[in-house]
Structure 1
Amino acid sequence: MTPFTIVRNNYLTQNIQGFYHTDFGGVELPNNPNYLYKLKNDPHHNWTEFRMQEAQQQLLAVLLNDLPGILAQTNRNSLTVCVVPRAKADSTYRPNQLLFKATVRTAVNRLGNGFVDGTNFITRHTNTKTTHLRRPMEGFVNDGSEPYPGISIDTCSFSTNINGRDILLIDDIYTKTVNIDEDMIQALLINGANTVTFYAIGNTIHD
């Protein structure tokens, strides 16, 4: 696990402490977290149930190893764990396309003391552009806005339970130039989060 700083910009008013598990640079990269592709389960893939369950176990092992270290480094008594929602409205996904969030929830519940389940504190109600898809896919309409400052507030609902809490915001992949995560952190602060710490499984090395 590697610490880094998310630097303030047009999307974010303050620097934020971040962590990531490993570099993300494509399937050919050694140690690339390829299980994340299976957890997304996008329409152009046809993963078997076994492969998706295998991917969940790989992610769970990473989370159970990394999250206690983040809690120790933040010097907080507890962290409420939230997850960056997928780009489209939550209602448009099948359960087997929301396995990343489900696995984070499993990890939080298994870790128990020191972690609070806030995985349903952020929900997407309006489609946004899916930024990780490089080419059009047959049968998939990539509608919605490109990232802009305030897109999270405009397209998501935030629980009032965020107010006053120390939040650990988790995403599968952090890409510095996209600003989705920066904007979501800012939205949490606007919604009253006491502090926000960020964690991603993969950190894009070609952005």
Structure 2
Amino acid sequence: MNRNAIHPYAKIARDGIWTHNPGLVQLLGLCPLLATSNTLVNGLALGLATLLVLTMSNTLVALIRPVVTAEIRIPVYVIVIASLVTVVELLMNAYFNALYMILGIFLPIITTNCIIIGRAEAYASKNSVPRAAFDGLMMGLGFTLALVLLGGLRELLAQGTLGDGLHLLLGERFKGMHLTLIPAYQGLLLAALPPGAFIGLGLLIAGKNWIDARYSARPATAATAAAAPAR
């Protein structure tokens, strides 16, 4: 047995969160990613909703794949996803109404999110239920991570805070509870506007690519040092 082999579930986790991150690498779901990431809380809320739908849809697609023919698979997947999105919408409207109103149209269009349909077609329809469910969870976590990082960056630059509006997600006990990292900050308006979302996403992608480049250069440097003749 190859000790260097990666466990299948570890590979799924690494691919979803980092290597093939839906938002930072595959650049899928950019419309909600850019539009709702003006604060950390808004990004986290949409990310969790997407994660829930993605995990459940992958699970259901893997369950029904033996009885769904190739000719009707895409319409069936869309019906499954739309049903799950409707459930999530109703729950958010009932228990998180303020966030439901803020996220607006970007909740129902989770149905057409390329990440969810793509994972249903490319992975869930070809793998077992446990792996499909875990893939949905990890891809959802990766997308949520991108939303939280972008939302946090934009909120910090626009308001000098992190976690403003936390009570919308966690209840009235958390009203007014947030981190003020830059006191008496006048704010950078650009960060709160749509161009700021594109610039922020570009910075996050550049940062990830820089980390990947540094990490991939380490083995090459170590191998070169080992091959160098001793003096």
- For the superposition of Structure 1 and Structure 2, which TM-score range results when normalised by the shorter chain? under 0.3
Higher relative contact order, chain-length normalized (CA < 8 Å, sep 6+): 2
Larger fraction in strand: 1
Larger radius of gyration: 2
TM-score (norm 1): 0.28
